């Protein structure tokens, strides 16, 4: 899995940089922040109300992997963050060397705003095939930090 912001909302882009990764984190994962301990955490299963809602705008292949372009259309409380260590751009080959935030390192986290877009790859072919342009998705709870369909 990997991902990066492809469109941010001007000077209003919100990045959190003072939080350490609780485990190795890949670009494109969704996490929450445990401010009491100053670390990231996986999205808990008891988080029933999604804070970020996104629409699938495009499906394509990137670095030989299934990829999605998602547009943020709701951010209720800003509780979910998008891990974005670096922007890998459009390099011809995928190389995860520079996009893993190691446990204990400061994580570069982005709080997605309405109107912003991100590109993510999916390791789950079944989920990818079930999505169409226009499908509403949200961050999924659990350790994979990916998305799930709404409804």
Q: How confident is the model at residue 128 (pLDDT cuts 50, 70, 90)?
A: very high
Looking at residue 43, the DSSP 8-state letter turns out to be B
Alpha carbons 43 and 81: distance in angstroms, whole number: 10
- Domains identified in the chain, total number: 1
CA distance 105 to 99: 12
pLDDT in tens, 101-118: 889 988 888 888 889 999
Which range marks the domain in which residue 89 is found? Answer: 3-149
Q: Facing residues of 60 across strands?
A: 67
Tokens standing for 96? 């995860």
Tell me the pLDDT tens digit for each residue of 25-45: 888 899 988 888 888 888 877
pLDDT in the model for residue 22: 92
**pLDDT recorded at residue 98:** 62
pLDDT at 93 over 60: no
pLDDT of residue 13: 63
């Amino acid at each position: 899995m990997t991902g990066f912001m492809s469109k941010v909302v001007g000077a209003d882009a919100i990045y959190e940089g003072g939080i350490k990764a609780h485990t190795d984190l890949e670009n494109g994962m969704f996490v929450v922040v445990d401010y009491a301990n100053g670390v990231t955490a996986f999205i808990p299963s008891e988080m029933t109300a999604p804070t970020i809602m996104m629409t699938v705008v495009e499906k394509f292949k990137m670095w030989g992997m299934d990829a999605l372009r998602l547009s943020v259309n709701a951010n209720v409380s800003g509780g979910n963050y998008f891990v974005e260590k670096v922007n890998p751009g459009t390099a011809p080959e995928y190389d995860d060397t520079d996009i893993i935030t190691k446990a204990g390192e400061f994580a570069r986290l982005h709080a997605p705003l309405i109107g912003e877009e991100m590109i993510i790859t999916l390791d789950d072919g079944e989920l990818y095939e079930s999505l169409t342009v226009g499908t509403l998705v949200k961050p999924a709870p659990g350790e994979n930090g990916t998305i799930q369909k709404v409804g």
